[in-house]
Structure 1
Amino acid sequence: MNEWYYYWDIGQTSIPIFAMHQKLVVYTFLLISCLEIRFASTTSDAITTTKFLKDSEALVSSSGNFKLGFFRPINSTYRYLGIWFNNKPFNGQLEIVWVANRDSPLKDSSGILKISDDGNLQVLDAQNKIHWSSNVSSKANSSAAQLLDTGNLVLLPDVGNNSIWQSFDHPTDSFLPQSTLVFNQTMPDDVPQSWKSINDPSRGRFRLVRLPRSLPECAILEGDKIYYRTGPWNGYVFLGAPYPRSDVATGFSVVDVQDGTMKILYELVDPSILQRFVLTYDGRLAQKHWSDGSNNWETAWQSFGSDCDIYGKCGEFTICNPVKAPICECLKGFVPRKVDEWSRGNWTNGCIRKTPLQCEAKGDKSDKFLQLKQIKVPDYAQRILAIPDNCESKCLGNCSCLAYSYYPGIGCMLLNVSLIDMQQFSVGGVDLFVRLAYSELPGESSKWKVIIAVIVIMSAVVSATLLYFLWTRLGHRYGKRSKTILKETQFHDLPLFEFAKLASATNHFSAANKLGEGGFGPVYKGIWDDGQHIAVKRLSRASGQGLQEFMNEVELISKLQHKNLVRLYGCCVEGDEKLLVYELLPNKSLDAILFDPEHRKLLDWEKRFEIIQGICRGLLYLHRDSRLRIIHRDLKPSNILLDEELNPKISDFGMARIFGTKQDQANTQRIAGTYGYMSPEYAMEGRFSEKSDVFSFGVLLLEIVCGRRNNNYQDYESLNLLAYAWKLWTNNGILSLIDPIVYKPCYERQILNCIQVGLLCVQEFPADRPNVSALILMLDVDGIENLPRPKEPGFTRSEVCSSYSAPQNGQDGCSANFVSLTAVSGR
């Protein structure tokens, strides 16, 4: 008999539905299976005591903005119950806002969320092991759990509307609009705490807490140490966290402050805006919102913009200024506590006062105040009741008072302990008045100092003038001798070679020994008598560069030692000849291999990635780890040399600049570098910083990935590489950018990661670009979903012209992207 009886199980009862032919049963079974799969994905916004939430199911809020369900982080085998923004993933990654079992993950997909017999919400596995519970102490008598439109998961009672428990009271790393953060000493764990890593939601190193201060303020702790401090609340914003836009802080307020407790309400006037604050795994507090225009989660504000945001970066009695170099500076009237450590870039010991305060002194010899503008309020500020005009007298009348400030909404703030965690802001901040001994400030008592200073300056000017005329008169007569003295005084740390010896080593600079030529001049291969190979760079008389660039390179590279920087053996200065002698790197420069149709095959993806990492390590040394903080300003493939194992070494420091203490690092009247690798702010406004090198590195990184020059895209509607990469990125065709020679499916994630890092580096505004320290970490991230979303690059369209075209009618010509530009203007 070929008929079966088919039953549909409902609960405990089996109901016979029909009898049918065997084949028809199979077809019907497949149809019902499809319907069952569809039913499994059906969602609602609540569960009850009889309705559970399985791993394959989800709750969706009535507005459709939020979803509750089980998820698996990227590169993880564990599963967690969480809440995320529904239908707003970026590159396949969910925007998670809350995690239940963050410290007790499920090992498989057997998880279930249910209301237990005691009325608590619980996450169980297949063995009924509890991985998380709402832990309501008294019997809850719960009837349902609902996911609200605000993203709040609430546990509702049998009777009444007030929730028994809500997820808003137990944040993980985020807090959402319409939520209230409660900082209570009795519940220290119910505060935002970062993920352990970008793919691990367990508790990380950073927590957002309330500082036990007299004024309301928060801090990010790393372990038990303060990592970042918001500054005091003024009734509208935290003074130490200036917002770039006025609308960012809307709806964010401290609503209640009591002993040991502070409540912060976060609400938006427009509930349709999808937004959240998140404490990231690397210790940044960021405000993110969904942009329909870019179809992306964008960061509207974040707590960290520079190293100056790190608590106490410079120690006591210092100001940290992110646009200066070094970033730390003693207050006027103070000197470094440990000069040797300070000179090496270790500022943690801060500064000490040069002249003791005279608290009891009266009249002209009483202590004075130095006004500092737009300053982050130091830690431990104490509020007192006083009108603005009385703040100074209140501080002077207190011998322990070191500074004061006044701000509407707070009043007078006195600083009675060491001044720490001060920062110079470009916007926001307060006027801070620092107490100094009367002799440290200009006044009647300093007239003789001024007179003496004027006499000394005038004497110096007269002496310099006499020496100048004497030098010019004797210059022609004793030119050769003066050049010898110049060498002895300026190159005493560097070996000097005779021109004749270098000419002999290079076979009199024969064309056969010529390795290449750049903006400085030609480079020749040479061999010493002992067989050692060298590279000799000879300054061309036709070069736009001259003695200044030559001296700059000698000064810099002779003091730098790193495996990813080229080594300088010595130099030669005789007559009009100026030469530099380097180690010889047999594989020449990166562009000689990368852009050559045959030689590029030597660079598989693993080697290209090693080159990218090596360049990044060299930049990190220049920006952070060397004795001198250096901006290269001309990073490009022709300035990356390769040794016998194709390891990269950064070369050509003729354009580099040292960030000095008294040097304005924001602007220069002398634009030097290479078009196509210059950042927008530098090429157009003369402003340069570490982020200028980051922009150049981004262009270089994209060139390494695709194997083509930045300006070699004439066949794509005059787009340069940056614009072409951006076009592919926005149209989800970025795989087309990858050099076919290196593409393999096993490398795809790493290559896409590098492309996104490159796009982050070439963003138009410097503040959006990561620093080199962050780049090191980003290159090791597995997957683009774990990186920030890049914004449109600068210079996304460029004029296409021949490298031989000359300016016409007074217009500027185009750079060939393989020569350097030096534009000299009068000082």
Structure 2
Amino acid sequence: MSAGFSRFSSLNWYLLVMSSKVLVNTQPSSSLARSCYFNMKQLVLYHNCCPLMNCKARNLFFPWLLCFFLLVISPSCSDTDTLAQGQELKDGDHLFSASGIFRLGFFKPGHANTSYLGIWHNTNNEKAVWVANRDTPIFGNSGTLRVDDHGNLKLSYSEGDSIVLYSVQAASNTSAILLDTGNFVLRELNPDGSIKQELWQSFNSPSDTLLPNMKLGIDKKSGLSWSLTSWISDEVPALGSFTLGMDPNGRNQMAIWWRGNIYWNSGPWENSLVKIFGKFDDYRFSYISNENETYFTYAVSKDITIFPRLTLNEKGEILVFLPDSMIPQVSCSTSAPSLRAGCVEQKLPKCRSPQDKFVYKMGLMSTEGFAFGKSDNLSLSDCRALCLKNCSCVAYTSTNDDGTGCEIWSKDSSFTEQYRKELRSIFIIDTKIRIWWIWMIIVCGGASTFPLLFSVCYVIWRKKKEEANRSEKMKQAMLLRELGGNAMSYTLTGKLKKRWRDQKAGPELQIFSYESISDATDNFSTANKLGEGGFGPVYKGKLLDGQEIAIKRLSRSSGQGLVEFKNEAILIAKLQHTNLVRILGFCIQGGEKILIYEYMPNKSLDFFLFDSSRKNLLNWKKRLGIIEGIGQGLVYLHKYSRLRVIHRDLKASNILLDKEMNPKISDFGMARIFGLNGSEEKTNRVVGTLGYMSPEYAMKGIVSFKTDVFSFGVILLEIVSGKKNISRSVSEHSLLIEYAWQLWNEGRALEIVDSTMDEPCHPDEALRCIHAGLLCVQEHAADRPTMSEVVSMLSKENVRLPAPKQPAFIDAGEEVPECTDDKLNNCSINDVTISEIDVR
């Protein structure tokens, strides 16, 4: 039976070889046929390389015979290697090179819903060897590649401007073709179909992979540089932090740069080519240098049975692909001397050692780390380097599931190892190697070495103290990085000392020491306490130079934390308006988190408005000025500031008054930044104060600029009436806006005006304020005006206001729960911000 199978297999191989020879000059038309054709040729080559009786490939005869029949009988297909002028290649379509070796189309890396145009090997399911739109992903499946009527090669998609790969003023009869080399070429053709000129090719814009006959170097005439740039992660093709190319300093060598700094160099070409790549028999490397160009390239033998390529990966390694293996040929992150040849030593701070290792573990950290912004465009290698260069950093990880972004932790955070699917993998520094000598001294010395043991303990204590100080400096540096501006250190050592930090130009903030703040407030005495909110207590203070300040100290029991602290510091530092409170600086020391503001001598609006003995100090003219100032501040936040901010916690207690009773909006801990094109978002974390929150926000978690408009409407009615929105003192109603609506419908709207004012209001102005306030508190956000429209309504008497509809929160039989002392954990009225409530 074995002999029979041998004879049958030999006959099969003979037929297969003869069939493939017949097909050598045949160009298959369908994608399936092309794939079969290419794999059949590869299989024949593989068969020729191994003995007939011992080669496992002989058992694959029947699948390949099926491919042969499909090849013969397959009908004409739309798949082609050419995209003609006026044609489109949509998401899901492909171009195949003539022999089916390469294909071009749209793909989605990882689990993202973003598409890229790429080229990859037709029988290799690994990542693309070339990507067109690396830093401009296309959302969804709307991508289209086309050669337009003018000969331009461009990518189009439903949401956004076209991505132009090549632009020409006018070229008729152009087409793009995918070659068997993997090169995608845009050509201008003569009327007879011959090539007139090549306009553009993908080989001139490499990604992270060098294919045979591609160039890596410099075109001296055009100034074009051929170089590879790594992906930012294994799943994201965006430009990474490593670049491989020719050394531009005139030295005939290759180099890898890491964010602009030399990371590795090959050495002179004559010796380095043989040393680095000479051991690969199937690769023939060469170095070409003449008056026109200088470049490095390679070719492969015709009978090579694998898909040859050189790749620069996201770790900065050069990979060479061999049959069934992927060999790192350059790797500066390994300890193998053969792979590290040419690596440039990376400078580390004195607190670090080259032997410091990070261990990959699954679990969670005890505190929130510092996450770098998206604009930093950091890879995991960048994150490791940032952690190593910071003496206080003990752990790092990527912030996104696709391996991008960076979050680091300082030494005040501990790690708990757990194996749960939803937890992240974190790289923890292994300190066992660094402290083994301490334990050796303790064990070996015994009781006879007590003085030495005492010295060691003192050194450890001193080191921990220094590490704690470094941790504090790290926190300050992290916050300074987010603030993005100059900072002035404000310390107190017997006299005032100021020291400038060399940072980027921007808002000027002071870093206050805890000692200076404690001294300014007489150790936070109750006599200097101005009040207390959701963040914590607020104190009045005076610096040594006589400047009065307001000090907001985060309470340890507060529901707000470092996120809200940074949010407020960063926002107020970057916002500049006469009706926004001005921040002077901050303090982070130990468990203390403190914000320092300009001092407002007249405290907050509710201090006057809701106190029977002080509200008469607010005459009508001052109330109108306060309304106008709050409105102008909100218009700036919503429309004119560079951040476009929704406050989310606007209320009378967050409106501060200066010595001229001008209003200043404060407390941005709950604020939310919107993009330039954003209109609304949904959040599961609802923050704010009952009575001021819009219904769609309080009940559905939908936040928009109209959320602040609703709060402003409530404050406007409170200023006019002198009464709180939620109060038992508003007639028989629970809500001021409900009472105002009833009076409006009955034609008695002016009865809501505060009667305790020393001078009467102007009736037309009061009616316009009430009218605008009711428009602001409409139940549906779409019915509310924008803040720009509200300011226009209040300032222009000739502007005709639309009739208001029934406001929100009015329902027969519905009562707003009264907040008593035993319910303050679930309810807040004016004074205390709710950090988080559940959405109904």
TM range (shorter): 0.3 to 0.5
Taking CA–CA contacts closer than 8 Å with sequence separation of 6 or more, which of the two structures ends up with the larger relative contact order?
Answer: 1
Would you tell me which structure has more helix in proportion to its own residues?
A: 2
TM-score (norm 1): 0.45
